[in-house]
Structure 1
């Protein structure tokens, strides 16, 4: 893998005589985390942990006439995951993005390869930039932009374990195939978009046959931005079948922010993600899943919901507020969240109170240098007995999370013909 990336990189450098543009950048992003109840409640026998993870990414962008080629190899590791005297024991090198894009004219554009799919507020499809590895898809995408008001994206993807001569079970935790349609219309101070996503997941039946079943996610997203107001509204539904279970779920979200002064922003918002009650006997999965969204930016930064967890559960009601201060190179953000279950939670035969708890997030961002950004964060959760039923652990124990991150993203080479 390393030899392939080096060969492609130096091959692109030798081709710059014919190129219109070549840009080479790097990104280093180490992050320290202290986890004391991150993602789930700890019990009295468990101790908090801490570690440093790091993303090291190379960004290559090559343009020649209407052709664009992007390569973004990266290494993701935790400090100390290999000994200091071992040279090749770590296997964290991967290709985050590697695609070719061709612009036929001012309207039609085609993209094929490993790429991010990021739309609207990234609730359903996002880059997941917080995660060191991010999220990207192997896909073919067609974009149609007849003018500044209209844009239509149509995409598709198919998945296999490897090159084979006969059909074999797809064992990767991923869709077997996917189809995407996204359309956006731009108004003067707002945009309206609609999304349709069809995902097919393969599973093995009781007769050991391979079967692919399809679920559909569809809905709309509206965003508003003026000199003083920032607003978002979205609603999505999910239907289809997954693992021989009928899916019938929906989502609604809204937020509104007001720029009171040049430096102060106040906001409120809420989300509803439908769920399946613990005593539901209908046989229908009513739990909404935000699929490939950047879920870390929603529902509290401690990732108690929908970040690799809380799937097919009782859903969520999230009411939150935002207070942001920005001046010069500094940004401070305070985000309290109040969580409740969308459907009933049972402990034995007893129905629990729907209130799950409150999370308070505090984040500071400072621009140290043109290429360097520093971030600090602290989160505290005040959980209830209902959260303990869902997550386990001890809700009465102090649970918190703290982190510090530095991002260094210089451009190291640029050529323009």
Structure 2
């Protein structure tokens, strides 16, 4: 960051590719019958869940990510609901990365459908990035799929390149040279800036900031005060075009959640799903060579839409002595489940989630003076058995070995779901 405010040149330094309606586009690529039709991707085939993706044909009817499936059917009588196939989305993701790499090195994979590439001095003129963008798009169509399209943004820093990619969708190209930055940014609304959600918009409005022009006029001190953190000051320099180093991220939790199909909503079936999710999380934990110091269980009750409230969800955690194995974690989950059933009386559940917190590298913790240390031999045996299960499932396929239930009994894993900011390892589709 150039904190002195000197006007150094800010060349076009980043190219950002944002795939358009990615999950829905993959479905249209895989199934020609879906092409040109309003398509919604659903985590499970029930009207009580919400869309995780919508094709542009569906978006024309006002359907978007987060739209309840029942509402999507009201908005468009011809909408096609398809179940999510996360393994296919990850497979196409890797094909996209490989194709982009044929034209320019990928510097950062930002999400399942976004990548950023840092440009060299010999490839960052307007003419050069226009030609490069055309080659990337042509390569995606020829080598990945004609329905796998993306919008490209080019700007002096990665943050502005992401904003530029959002300016023209679908299949757009937006270049923001330094000389045009302020004028082009003033055409946006505060909510178009990444990280400015509804709550932040209200906070800005309360401070008299209702347009991007006013945000651009803030000095670093004012920006930090308005945002209430150093992010405000960082945003000031980013919007001016400074190419700041990225802040490294640290994985602080591992979690899995599942929206339950109707047949999995009774308590006994929901509990088995929670156990299955926990074993998946534990497998990831061991692969990352981490241990966990806390487990959180979250359950949401099935209630009519018109009576939903905050009281429809139960969430509680349990401290652990930094463990890795399936069996200790499942015993802790059983305790939480028993507690939940006594405190949160519901006949059916619509969603369950498990989260492992307080992650540390294996061997990096020390037992507290007042904690009862587990028997080393028993701990080693449980871990060895858990690792043996990992190897069996990797070799023979997902759910070859399970704990405490038959995977054919309705809780067989369908593979990991995808949070847009985390791409599952291919290994997770065997977990």
Q: Which has the larger radius of gyration?
A: 2
Q: Identify the structure with the greater helix proportion.
A: 2
TM-score, normalised relative to structure 2: 0.22
TM-score, normalised relative to structure 1: 0.23
